[in-house]
Amino acid sequence: MTLFNLAVSLRNRRRLSVFLFPFTVFLFSFPSNSQESDAFAVQKSQSQPTSRFVRFVEGAEQWQGRLQTSIATYENESGITLNLVSAVHMADASYFDELNDYFQSQDAVLYELVAEADQRPAFGEATAAFGRRSPVSMLQRAMAEFLKVSFQLEKIDYTQANFRHADVSPAQLGEIMQSKNENSFSMFLSLALAQSLSQANSRPQSGLESLAILKAVMTQRRDSVVKYLLAKELSNVELTSLSAELESQLTILGDRNLAALRVLKISLKDPQLRSLSVFYGAAHMSGIERAIVSDFGFKKVGERWLDAWIIP
């Protein structure tokens, strides 16, 4: 069943969070500057993985809290350790510093970036020009400035020797979109439809309802309150977990996950790689987790949480 046919059957709520979902996927899960015949089959089960990859922890005072992402750890029967390192692509500088230190401990880091395989951002502030022409990148930087946080492409050291590109190139993304008669607007609309479908059942209350927005506008701590409300919405499980069927129809998620899994399959054949990380946006991780558990034989053995945003 297609997204359109499923969406037609939806007759109830329309909330701001429906359109926040594609917005946040583009901003927080799409760092940017034909599917192969052996690609892994997408599971059609509607069951959702049990893991969460992003959460919000309330603070002691009103409008305080922490947006956190996880490093979820899995092992297989061969003793290989695989870590799913979830990311929000705009975060406090200390968050990216902690990730840079962590990545040094890994044999391989399979990273997300819509770019050519040999095209890496140079580490440091000089990276500001990388991907400057990308509308998504420009929007991400503008949002980072508004939220007073740092931008991933300028803070993560992609020059480390253990980094391996595990995403599509701009040309490959364009070919996939063309084969599906997609453009940026239609991808945005498809994400909105997918989000509305995931809300067909009872869902948690959105943090971006009209009353909450009104409070944010009227308070003297406007910047912190806006950041607080957005962080709570980003932590909503429905924003990072879609069914396999819906996800497979979303180029920005499903097709790029397949690219990461192809690189992972190759990497797992290298006997020198015993500890690997997949470094992708949190919105991708539910689908990747489904694949590594069902197709690669990994079992979850632990997790740790990192503070991406600290809202004082």
Q: Positive or negative CA dihedral for 269, 273, 275, 281?
A: negative
H-only helix segments in 76-134: 93-103
Q: Say whether pLDDT at 25 is over 80.
A: no
**Phi and psi at residue 278, in whole multiples of 5°?**
-105, 115
Per domain, the residue ranges of the chain are 14-36+52-311
Q: What DSSP letter does each residue of 188-256 carry, written as one string?
A: HHHHHHHHHHHTSS--PPPTTSHHHHHHHHHSTTHHHHHHHHHHHHHT-GGGS---HHHHHT-IIIIIH
What's the pLDDT at 140? 74
247 compared with 262, residue with greater pLDDT: 262
pLDDT tens, 157-210? 999 999 999 999 999 988 988 888 877 666 665 665 555 555 554 455 555 555
Nearest to 283 by CA among 208, 198, 204, 225: 198
Could you tell me the pLDDT band of residue 138, with boundaries at 50, 70 and 90?
A: confident
CB atoms within 10 A of CB 166: 25
16 compared with 229, residue with greater pLDDT: 229
pLDDT tens, 139-152? 777 888 888 999 89
226 touches 216 (CB < 8 A): yes
Distance from chain centroid for Cα 300: 19
180 compared with 250, residue with greater pLDDT: 180
